[in-house]
Amino acid sequence: MSDPDEVLAKEAKRGSTRAFESLVRRNQSLVRGFLRRLAAGDAALADDLAQETFVMAWRRIGSFEAKGSFKGWLCRIAYTQFLQNRRSAKAAQRREDEVMAMSETVQDDRASSEARMDLDKVMGVLSPEQRAAMALCYGEGMSHAEAAEALGLPLGTVKSHVVRGRAKVLAEFQGAAP
């Protein structure tokens, strides 16, 4: 006697939707159980994949050959659906991670830009000489002597501009008048 699934599969290959519906009813528990184990108990994912499995099986029923069991053929489709879903999920996660990284970069850039604008605003309260001395010493990392040479000012004057400029900047950041 032939396997009932194989008989129904032959009828489904000839276009019988009733035969395919019977195959679904007979095998849906098997497919869902298999997919639930693959999906680590995620019932919703397993049900979605089971539905996709049966849709794919209907589309490919013409390729079923009775060399192996129908159940084996169906489980192979289910496994393929699971693997494709997992690859898609990983790709989606990578895209989401990239978007989040870009978002963090944009936020960091925005914060950095805002900090620069705030610093530029605060530096605006300084005299041009103080601004130049502060920019060279703190912004460019020059020593007072190097800044004095670059600005063509005496060393003591540059030191004075840096000390007074620093006091004004700190007072401005703290919201107090110098």
Q: How many residues does the chain have?
A: 178
At which of 95, 116, 139 does a domain end? 95
Q: Write out the E strands in the chain.
A: none
**Number of compact structural domains in the chain:** 2
Question: Has residue 176 got a pLDDT over 70?
Answer: no
Average pLDDT over residues 32-52: 89
Question: Has residue 177 got a pLDDT over 50?
Answer: no
What pLDDT was estimated at residue 132?
Answer: 79
- Whether 55 and 138 map to the same domain: the answer is no
Q: Is residue 118 part of a domain?
A: no
Amino acid letter at 93? Q
- Whether 27 and 67 map to the same domain: the answer is yes
Which range has the top average pLDDT, 13-22, 103-112, 125-134, 147-156? 13-22
- Whether 139 and 68 map to the same domain: the answer is no
State the Cα–Cα distance between residues 16 and 28, nearest whole angstrom.
Answer: 18
Q: Is residue 163 part of a domain?
A: yes
In the three-class reduction of DSSP (H, G, I as helix; E, B as strand; rest coil), residue 3 is classed as: coil
Q: Summarize pLDDT for 84-130 with one digit per residue, the tens.
A: 998 887 777 777 777 677 656 655 555 555 555 566 666 678 787 88
CATH code at position 62: 1.10.1740.10
Question: Has residue 140 got a pLDDT over 90?
Answer: no
Mean pLDDT, the chain, whole residue set: 81
Q: Is residue 49 part of a domain?
A: yes
Q: Is residue 101 part of a domain?
A: no
What pLDDT was estimated at residue 108?
Answer: 58
CATH code at position 148: 1.10.10.10
> What is the domain range of residue 69?
4-95
Question: Has residue 178 got a pLDDT over 50?
Answer: no
Exposed / middle / buried, residue 164 (Cβ in 10 Å: 0-12, 13-18, 19+)? middle
28: left (phi over 0), alpha (psi -120 to 50) or beta: alpha
Average pLDDT over residues 129-135: 80
**First vs last Cα of the chain: how many Å apart?**
101
Q: Summarize pLDDT for 52-87 with one digit per residue, the tens.
A: 999 999 999 988 887 778 888 898 899 999 999 988
Helices (H), 124-154: 128-134, 144-151
What pLDDT was estimated at residue 51?
Answer: 94
State the Cα–Cα distance between residues 44 and 93, nearest whole angstrom.
Answer: 19
